[in-house]
Amino acid sequence: MATERKQPQEAPPPSSTSLAPPSSTSLAPPSTSLPPPAIPSLIITISDKAVGFVEHLDLFGRMFWGTLKAMFERPLEVRSTVYQMESLGVRSAAIASVTALFVGMVMAVQFAIGLQKFGGMEYTGRIIGLSFSRELAPTLTAVIVGGRIGAGIAAEVGSMAVTEQIDAIRALGANPLKKLVVPRLLASVVVMPVLGAFALVLGFGGAMLICATEFGIPAGFFLRTALGSVTFMDYFSGMYKTPFFGAIIALVGCHFGLITRGGTEGVGQSTTRTVVVTSITILIADFFLTKMSILFFPSR
């Protein structure tokens, strides 16, 4: 039986669509979308910042209230408080001294030259005495020293937070606010008036030195005019601010230290935020404290 030989099938002819040239739409450049409007993104950014600010205020308020309650709990952290006084106060004396000394010198040069044009150089001591005692000594010391103290507190407490040492304190049944925040708060409140008074004396000394050596104003005359124009209420209206500044420095540093996350990078961010927020808060508080001092402690 003969087998039928299969004929090879011919390939189907190409369709008209396969021979058609590519459409012009395939060669067109991809469409570019317009950038989103900037106003909604700005609103979102502002709202996020506002929410973050409110969250920080909430955490800060809780920490502050918990610290006030822990401050009166027994036993008292006397040894830790004394150590923090040495760490925050004694080690900050150098930067406070240098700053106050040279600021006093600069003020003496500026005021003496300015008053010399009007023949009133003898008022240099009075102006420097009032400005230093009421404003410059406490505020300048708080801003300069606050950067060092606040950054140190934030770095130390933040390092404990990222290494879970604070969680270990809680696991042992202790209160981290009592162990960490209370000693630093008390130490900062105590040492800031001392540093402010120290800066006041050195500022007077620097101004007196420049007036005596550069402008021929006798040192005795400078002291008599400077101290004679400043009353006790002038000293008090300036020095009473320093405990508030000390509390601001310690609380802000502890706040950013306790909420630190993200390892060493987070510690650096907390330190930077502490310095910025501390300086701004001190200047804002200084305005309101100055208004209160003028209201309750007017200068004669």
User: What pLDDT is attached to residue 244?
Assistant: 95
Residue 150: other Cβ atoms inside 10 A: 31
Q: Give the pLDDT mean for 196-213.
A: 91
Evaluate whether 198 touches 90 at the Cβ level (below 8 Å): no
Give 65-111 pLDDT, tens digit per residue: 988 988 888 888 889 899 999 888 888 889 999 999 999 999 999 88
- Mean pLDDT across 143-170: 90
- Residue 217: per-residue pLDDT: 85
CA distance 130 to 107: 12
The confidence score (pLDDT) of residue 77 equals 82
Reported as type and span, the H/E element at residue 112 is helix 93-116
Do 149 and 92 touch, CB atoms closer than 8 A? yes
pLDDT at 259 over 80: yes
Which of 75, 255, 265 shows the shortest CA–CA distance to 180?
A: 255
pLDDT score of 186 more than 70: yes
- Structure-token pair, residue 20: 């058609």
* pLDDT of amino acid 58: 85
What pLDDT score was predicted for residue 90?
87
Q: Above 60 in pLDDT, residue 34?
A: no
234-248 average pLDDT score: 91
Can you tell me the distance from the alpha carbon of 180 to that of 46, in angstroms, rounded to the nearest whole number? Answer: 34
Better-scored residue on pLDDT, 103 or 30: 103
Contact status, residue 125 vs residue 223, Cβ threshold 8 Å = yes
Confidence of residue 300 (pLDDT cuts 50, 70, 90): low
The H or E element that residue 233 is part of is helix 232-239
Q: Which of 38-42, 79-83, 163-167 has the lowest mean pLDDT?
A: 38-42
When pLDDT is averaged across residues 207-236 and rounded to a whole number, the result is: 86
- Here the tokens at position 175 are 């209160």
Query: Are residues 222 and 211 in contact, defined by beta-carbon separation less than 8 angstroms?
Result: yes
CA distance 258 to 166: 8
Model confidence, pTM: 0.80
Q: What angle do CA 274, 276, 282 make, to 5 degrees?
A: 95
Gap between the Cα atoms of 107 and 103, Å rounded: 6
HSE (side-chain half, CA atoms, 13 Å) at 205: 11
Task: Answer with the residue of higher pLDDT: 264 or 38.
Answer: 264
pLDDT computed for residue 39 by the predictor: 65
Based on the number of CB atoms within 10 Å of its own CB, is 212 exposed (0-12), middle (13-18) or buried (19 or more)?
Answer: middle
Report CA-CA distances (Å) from 120 to 124, 198, 224: 8, 29, 16
Sequence-distant (≥ 6) Cβ neighbours of residue 102 within 8 angstroms: 206
Given a cut of 50, is residue 24 above it in pLDDT? no
Candidates 198, 197, 300; CA nearest to 240 is 197
Q: What 3-state DSSP class applies to 3?
A: coil
Residue 13 DSSP one-character state: P
Tell me the average pLDDT of the chain: 83
Check pLDDT > 50 for residue 2: no
How many C-beta atoms surround the C-beta of residue 166 within 10 A?
19
Average pLDDT over residues 281-294: 91
CA distance 280 to 151: 14
Q: Which of the two residues, 15 and 134, has the higher pLDDT score?
A: 134
